[in-house]
Structure 1
């Protein structure tokens, strides 16, 4: 005789911001995200104009302050809080849309970009970071302006020839950073699988009379990550069944549930770790000692040569150590290959990447904030000087330590979840790797850091 089934509690329905009438109406309106895009384009135009025509003194240039003291430190925070929302309102994205509508040929994205786009993003990210230090882009208003104009040129060219936002998806280095960080973010857009399964229109992907097709080539029905969703709202406008939700979630929970982890994405996470190390070390007094040490070996005082060597070493360290522990795990503890471990556990770098990146940017944001006010007043002929900080460097350091501690713990927890909650004995090499990078970042933040603007 069969026993009666117990009444099991139904799964808790995720909170949906679209259930709030004001938010739902706004996202479905013509004002979203256009109002943010046009404001972004206006500020972008002013920033580029000031970078290219204003004072060459980076400490007094309004465009430099807005770019490197405000925008660059704040944008990773946005990735954590609201995913790739920045990509929805980015001036480059809006310009891409305008160009495509006016003169675009709407040809399909080349197969080469579909296959190797992330690798190109990896390479571009490395080259731009290297070029920043070689050519002093951050410390040169003209250099910063030229970089933005070069990127804008790439946006225009790709938009003339190819459909949707080909540049944003397959070539934008900031898009690659946004994709990785958004995986650890606190917001997600998803569809109701039961409703999407029966949908015949596929309007979220193909578009409709209400809005364009998804500019990032995403199909809500199959989405299992937030790496390439920029929350532009077009799918919400197009969906005939109100199937889509925008919900808060626990940070990093996506990192162990990705159905098809990819080598290039794990490689990018390791690359970002190397770049974070470079950015931190070059702001410290010990940097000169490192350069002199390399110079003693290379027997040259050329900054370009010695920095390039240091830069390559910084890239190799997180990639090589991840490969080593992946090999160690495959031989001794885990029933998987070295490559499989590298691909899976590379995502565990992302929380520490974020912690190191946010800690570095937090220093500039909080200790150079008043430069925004001083340089803005300078545009109107009122030149002011004084302390730029809004909090003490000691306070910033405490916040950096908290970020690194939390990021290290999250990375170790991601290892635990990616490893399917296996025993410590089986996963200890990966725990140790995350702990080492956490300690390294902790040590770097304990040292005095130099300012970009003073």
Structure 2
């Protein structure tokens, strides 16, 4: 892995093919067939890329961020017209909160305006993101968009903390270094695009495995190693409320995505319509969305309050500290939901791709495997995620509290996680609708 990162061909050998594919996807979304069921861009974006991206974060950290077409575009814009101004203090302080808000807003807009079901809607969303990338690349230094504003980057940061790979500097070598080429850059490669200093880096939240620090380091100090998934979550030195809040947000978003795909969603809409005295879908969905987002937040707060009775922390501190323990179950629920789209509709990518060349597959099933197999994999993921979250909560408590406080701190969160997985299992038992 380290030899790959050192190669002069990396990451460009991945970046340029990705840009070409992205250009085809964007063209199809904006100019191609308007029917999402027959649009190659829709299939590639929402049936392939979106379902597998969490798995990439788990297995290879933020590797996607190293080859993402938005990041490459930002580098190009900065090279030719960039002013390279310092990142505003406001973004440095509130960037994660902006990412949280963007995640919530885009999820809401998807359901209200049908972004996923509309190739044009998906294309417009990408154009809006491209505009943000161009503006930040033109005015600010390095990858300001990726670090402080990209909602995918926020998701990547959380999931990469539980990832199976880590990149670190060797303390003995770094302590003697006076060059700091890993951060500043050299003739071999630019400095760290994500504003990270490997000498002091203790987490994977913002490292995108671009390899620049590996190429630049004159002391061969940077190491890449495998680790137990979620291990980093056990020893967060400075937990941040905004990062834990994003984990809670993801719980709510997965809940929204699951419920709106169920047949019972129609009954829920009718019930809320009667309660609110309206038949406006926007109003009804907004109410359902607020409820679905509030439920996990309230449950986590209640659990944190109960835990605070047994340890010395306030409920807010417990949310901040134990919010990281939700990341494994977040990943499991998110991936289990996405597996349905990937495996039940995966062949639609092949069919829509062949349709670009006039080859039709009318009436052919888009499923890659049987529904029984999908359900088994979903349950396996949920089980592993629950075990990971419970064990992470235990390790966090063990590292943070006295021996007599550990059980009282862990049990409430264990009950919460078991309740969450039980509800998710129930949802996956119900019939779901397809995207394509």
> 2: CA distance between counterparts of 1:167 and 1:161?
11
Aligned match for 1:434, one of 402, 417, 423: 417
Shift of 1:377: 0.9
Aligned match for 1:333, one of 303, 310, 313: 310
Structure 1 partner of 2:49: 71
| 1:51 and 2:34 aligned | no
| SS of residue paired to 1:417 | helix
Structure 2 partner of 1:418: 396
Shift of 1:291: 1.4
| Greater displacement, 298-307 / 96-105 | 298-307
> 2: CA distance between counterparts of 1:39 and 1:426?
49
TM-score (norm 2): 0.97
| 1:347 and 2:324 aligned | yes
| Greater displacement, 311-320 / 91-100 | 311-320
Shift of 1:140: 0.2
| SS of residue paired to 1:107 | coil
> 2: CA distance between counterparts of 1:110 and 1:208?
25
Aligned match for 2:119, one of 122, 128, 141: 141
Structure 2 partner of 1:359: 336
**Structure 1: which 5+ runs fail to align?**
1-16, 19-23
Aligned-pair RMSD on alpha carbons? Answer: 1.0
Structure 2 partner of 1:7: none
Structure 2 partner of 1:121: 99
| 1:161 and 2:139 aligned | yes
**How do 1:147-296 and structure 2 match up within 5 A?**
147-296=125-274
| Greater displacement, 28-37 / 138-147 | 28-37
Shift of 1:27: 2.0
Aligned match for 2:360, one of 383, 387, 404: 383
Structure 1 partner of 2:291: 313
> 2: CA distance between counterparts of 1:75 and 1:428?
32
Residues 93-133 of structure 1 deviation map (CA, whole Å, 9 limit, x = unaligned)? 00000000100000001110000000000000100010000
| SS of residue paired to 2:37 | coil
Shift of 1:412: 0.7
> 1: CA distance between counterparts of 2:11 and 2:51?
22
> 1: CA distance between counterparts of 2:133 and 2:285?
30
Residues 221-243 of structure 1 deviation map (CA, whole Å, 9 limit, x = unaligned)? 11111010000000000111111
Question: How many corresponding residue pairs?
Answer: 430
> 2: CA distance between counterparts of 1:224 and 1:185?
13
> 2: CA distance between counterparts of 1:425 and 1:78?
35
Shift of 1:425: 3.6
| SS of residue paired to 2:398 | coil
| 1:112 and 2:90 aligned | yes
| SS of residue paired to 1:420 | helix
TM-score (norm 1): 0.93
**Structure 2: which 5+ runs fail to align?**
none
> 1: CA distance between counterparts of 2:272 and 2:365?
35
Shift of 1:434: 1.2
> 1: CA distance between counterparts of 2:97 and 2:39?
35
Shift of 1:41: 0.6
Residues 283-302 of structure 1 deviation map (CA, whole Å, 9 limit, x = unaligned)? 11111121112112101111
> 2: CA distance between counterparts of 1:158 and 1:425?
46
